[in-house]
């Protein structure tokens, strides 16, 4: 019983942390500049309350996608971002983010940074294996997406907050990155 109380308390704390994070209107420049997503980067679509409505490995249902308001991106160092999404239609190809002033479908954004979507699972294009929920298969998966930390972000504000672009890391610490 004590374990269940601690787990519930942890989930409430994570929910409160998510509520304090503002949703960014576009992908931050620090993430745009990355050649590829660092290994272990986690992704999930969340609703207005910060609840995960889709994560890699789950089937993207019409109802879940209709609730999605942001893409949660959690880098391996714990830096998290919530980036506004627009969903027009069905399927992950209809989930779009603003990148450098242009609307980009989610699968295209992932692919451009070294990840492909195959049967709802993320596959690292550079031979790094499959990932589920943004974490490597066999690790926490969905629960990892709930570990978002609110530190380093702006004050809560529905759509109006600027947020902070995180640690400013540009991804060149990724040992799997190779100059082409």
Rounded to two decimals, the pTM is 0.59
CA 63/CA 45 separation, integer angstroms: 12
Q: Across the chain, what does the average pLDDT equal? A: 68
CA 159/CA 171 separation, integer angstroms: 27
What is the pLDDT averaged over residues 101-129?
76
Q: Is the pLDDT of residue 122 over 60?
A: yes
Residue whose C-alpha is closest to residue 38's, from 128, 155, 167, 109? 128
Using the 8-state DSSP alphabet, how is residue 112 labeled? Answer: H
Residue 114: band (very low, low, confident or very high) from pLDDT cuts 50, 70, 90:
confident
Residue 26: band (very low, low, confident or very high) from pLDDT cuts 50, 70, 90:
very high
Between 98 and 168, the more confident residue is: 98
Phi, psi of 76 (to 5 degrees): -55, -25
Residue 100: band (very low, low, confident or very high) from pLDDT cuts 50, 70, 90:
confident
Between 179 and 116, the more confident residue is: 116
The pLDDT value recorded for residue 153 is 36
Helix (H) or strand (E) holding 116: strand 115-118
């Amino acid at each position: 019983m004590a374990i269940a109380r601690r787990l519930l308390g942890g989930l409430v704390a994570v929910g409160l942390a998510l509520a304090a994070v503002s949703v960014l209107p576009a992908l931050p420049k620090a993430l745009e500049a990355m050649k590829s997503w660092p290994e272990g980067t986690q992704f999930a679509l969340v609703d207005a309350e910060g609840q995960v409505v889709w994560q890699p490995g789950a089937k993207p249902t019409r109802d879940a996608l209709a609730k999605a308001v942001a893409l949660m991106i959690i880098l391996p160092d714990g830096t998290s971002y919530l980036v506004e999404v627009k969903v027009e239609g069905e399927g992950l190809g209809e989930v779009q983010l603003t990148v450098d002033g242009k609307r980009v479908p989610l699968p295209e954004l992932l692919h451009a940074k070294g990840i492909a979507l195959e049967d709802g699972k993320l596959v690292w294009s550079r031979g790094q294996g499959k990932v589920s929920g943004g974490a490597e298969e066999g690790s926490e998966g969905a629960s990892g997406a709930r570990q978002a930390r609110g530190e380093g972000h702006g004050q809560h504000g529905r759509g109006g907050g600027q947020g902070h672009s995180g640690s400013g890391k540009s991804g060149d610490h990724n040992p799997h990155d190779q100059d082409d």
